[in-house]
Structure 1
Amino acid sequence: MKINVEVDCTPEEARRAVGLPDLTPLHDKYVSMMMETMQGGVPPEMLETMMRSWAPMGEAGMAMWRKLFEGGAKS
């Protein structure tokens, strides 16, 4: 027997239904701090050191961050 249940809700509604906290204010603060840091003219060496400490997957994580920043710099 196979039963499929389809629920149509927003991410906010799903988060509340499961009882997870709303981290939107924290995320917004984090993004604004990163933008301020990037616009302040941070040396590349400092960024690499910072990203290495945040990258959970070692070199694969660093490659992901590098692509992210290269894409942001082009736009």
Structure 2
Amino acid sequence: MKMTIEIDCTPQEARTFLGLPDVSVLNDKLVEEMQKRMSANMAILSPDELIKNWTAFGVGAQEQFRNLMSAAVDASMGAARSK
């Protein structure tokens, strides 16, 4: 025998019926905190802030990055030659 029961209720009514806790207040707090953090981080992603951060490392960091990229290219070329 197969039975189908259809219940028409709101999510809040379903949570109450099943005995689940009401977490809407917690959800509102989490969403508010995420919005604050995203807004704070958006300022960091502005182009002028990115340039300030990148240039703050100086020439030494730029040279290290160039060396890292050169080593990666050399390694990939060596792997291609050995095949």
- Normalized against structure 1, the TM-score is what? 0.54
How far does residue 40 in structure 1 lie from its aligned partner after superposition?
1.0
2:38 matched residue in structure 1: 38
What is the alpha-carbon distance in structure 2 between the residues aligned to residue 12 and residue 31 of structure 1? 19
Higher relative contact order (CA 8 A, sep 6+): 1
Over the residues paired in the alignment, what is the CA RMSD in angstroms? 1.5
Q: Which residue of 2 aligns with 1:11?
A: 11
The one-letter code of the counterpart of 2:13 is E
> Hey, what's the Cα distance between the residues in 2 that align with 1:27 and 1:33?
10
Q: Which runs of 5 or more residues in structure 2 are unaligned?
A: 46-83
TM-superposition CA deviations, 1:50-72 (whole Å, max 9, x none):
xxxxxxxxxxxxxxxxxxxxxxx
What stretches of structure 1 of length at least 5 have no aligned partner?
Answer: 45-75
**Number of equivalenced pairs:** 44
TM-score normalised to the size of structure 2?
0.49
What is the aligned-residue identity percentage? 45
SS in 2 for 1:31: helix
